[in-house]
Amino acid sequence: MSLVLVKHRLPPVWDGQRVKWDKFEPSPKTFICPPPPPSRCDCGSGNAPLLASGAREPKPGEMFASTKRVMGRFGRWLERPTLVPAWPLRDLFAFRCPDCKADGVWDMRTDEWWTLGPEDYGPQGSERPIEREWSGGLFDLLEES
Ligand SMILES: [Zn+2]
């Protein structure tokens, strides 16, 4: 009997939404979109990172605001607001260091850069860390240390 450990290539879920990642490819020579990652990895590697894009699946029942054309009176087309079912959006870009294999992800939706840790590769994927403000209590200080 063998034990098979499943490790995800990249976070299967991003902030609660399932993600379909492409395979890692060498970085293109010129960047138009997305912008280049930080020029050097923490490991000191100066080699160009591998790049993979990810498409976020919409949440069940998620809708987008849109417009639809309807024929108005006098034969004129009018734009009317409507809701349409959401579709996957390719707005995550992962950069992998070719030397130490560290991954960073640029979230286009929030324009934030994240360095991934081991916890991000589990079945729950990557969740935004909970940010708390210090309320001035000793308990908060003890919890953070
Ligand atoms: Zn590295």
135 Cβ contact list (under 8 Å, min separation 6): none
Spacing, Cα 57 to ligand 1 middle (Å): 29
- Euclidean distance between CA atoms 38 and 110, whole angstroms: 17
Please say if the pLDDT value at position 141 is more than 80: no
Domain-embedded: residue 72: no
Domain-embedded: residue 7: no
Report DSSP state, residue 42.
T
Please say if the pLDDT value at position 140 is more than 60: no
User: Mean of the pLDDT values across residues 4-33?
Assistant: 81
Number of domains in the chain: 1
Domain-embedded: residue 41: yes
- Euclidean distance between CA atoms 58 and 85, whole angstroms: 9
Q: pLDDT tens-digit profile of 34-75? A: 555 666 788 988 888 899 999 999 988 999 899 999 999 899
User: Mean of the pLDDT values across residues 71-90?
Assistant: 93
Domain-embedded: residue 70: no
User: Mean of the pLDDT values across residues 86-109?
Assistant: 93
Helix (H) or strand (E) holding 56: strand 50-56
Spacing, Cα 105 to ligand 1 middle (Å): 14
Domain-embedded: residue 121: yes
Domain-embedded: residue 77: no
- Euclidean distance between CA atoms 67 and 69, whole angstroms: 7
Domain residues for the domain of 52 are: 13-57+88-144
Question: What does the mean pLDDT of the chain come to?
Answer: 84
Q: pLDDT tens-digit profile of 4-17? A: 455 568 999 999 99
Spacing, Cα 72 to ligand 1 middle (Å): 60
Q: What pLDDT, on the 0 to 100 scale, is given for residue 71?
A: 94
Spacing, Cα 50 to ligand 1 middle (Å): 11
Domain-embedded: residue 67: no
| Residue 73 · residue 61 · CB < 8 Å | no
Q: What pLDDT, on the 0 to 100 scale, is given for residue 30?
A: 65
Tokens representing 107 are 């979230």
| Lowest-confidence region among 8-22, 98-112, 121-135 | 121-135
Domain-embedded: residue 105: yes
**Chain centroid offset of residue 48 CA:** 20
